[in-house]
Amino acid sequence: MEIPRVLSHAGSLTNPHVPPPPLPSRQLLMSAKARILEHMNKDHMVSLYDFLAYYEGIKLDYSNPSHSVELVDVELDHITLNYIKNGHSKTIVTPLDPPLKSLGEARVRFVKMAFEAADAFQVSPYQIKSFHPPAQPISGIIASLFGTCAFVALSPRSVGRILQRRSPHLAHFIRQNARRIFVATIIIHLLEYFLFLRAKLDKFRVYGALRLKWFLSTMSVGFPAWRRFDQEIHRLSTVRLKFEAENP
């Protein structure tokens, strides 16, 4: 989770006891604040859902199109979230305790808040937002065999015309066993999805069409698909470990 580093200023724009900075500094400060808001709303939406649920006790369904949340303001001592639930819009202020000394501390603070909130709900603070097809040669072999068996299972007579002249024994074997292999492969791949992938998709908040891609990939090639997902998990775990080492 990366948040842009921004200009520091010791005062709060809403604190009447702190004199406002000179106009150029205020403009830079507002520009920096705008970058934080844009970045959080664009790249770390799941963290905003977690903030609302963990720090305010307001749970929204990320996969529900009638639910949404937006970070609308950042100050040294609080953040302001606007959320919509079932058509009703509300604004809530979440204190930052202790307050930030400057907006330059926002990056580290928000990342730590995201970790704390996500860990409380046993989900990842990171969301996997893209599909990564398995690149191993074995995945192509498995997909080819699965496709062949599916074709033969649905149209067994076609194998005789294609293979009978070149390899009668192979044609006979395929005709006799293709349906069994096809059904067994579907069952095995379904088991792989439910045992090894579904819970991870939930943890990393993979929904909709992207979730369907991972499911179909698993149904097509089996273990190379969910192993590829595991590699992405490992990459994100390394990112977190590096951040925690640099920001104890």
Residue 117 Cα distances to 65, 98, 197, angstroms = 22, 17, 23
pLDDT tens digits, one per residue of 120-145 = 999 999 999 999 887 666 655 555 55
Same domain flag for 57 and 114: yes
Residue 223, pLDDT above cutoff 60? yes
Tell the burial category of 241 from Cβ atoms under 10 Å away from its Cβ (0-12, 13-18, 19+).
exposed
What is the pLDDT at residue 171? 67
Per the prediction, the chain carries an average pLDDT of 82
pLDDT of 196? 93
Q: Are residues 203 and 176 in the same domain?
A: yes
pLDDT (tens digit per residue) in 64-105: 888 999 999 999 999 999 999 988 899 999 999 999 998 889
Taking the complete model, does pTM exceed 0.75, yes or no?
no
Identify whether residues 33 and 95 lie together within a single domain.
yes
Separation between Cα atoms, residue 209 and residue 82, nearest integer Å: 27
Domains held by the chain: number: 2
What is the C-alpha to C-alpha distance for residues 161 and 138, in angstroms, rounded to an integer?
A: 28
Asked if residue 115 and residue 36 are part of one domain, the reply reads yes
Q: In this structure, are 172 and 116 located in the same domain? A: no
**Residue 12, domain member (yes or no):** no
pLDDT at 7 over 50: no
Residue 9 lies in a domain: no
Domain range for 225: 137-245
CA max distance for the chain:
92
- Is residue 62 in some structural domain? yes
Residues 111 and 180 in one domain: no
The pLDDT assigned to 9 comes to 43
Domain boundary among 78, 105, 125: 125
- CA-based Rg of the chain, rounded to a whole angstrom? 26
- Identify the DSSP state of 193: I
CATH number at residue 29: 3.20.180.10
Average pLDDT over residues 29-57: 91
Torsion of CA 62, 63, 64, 66, to 10 degrees: 60
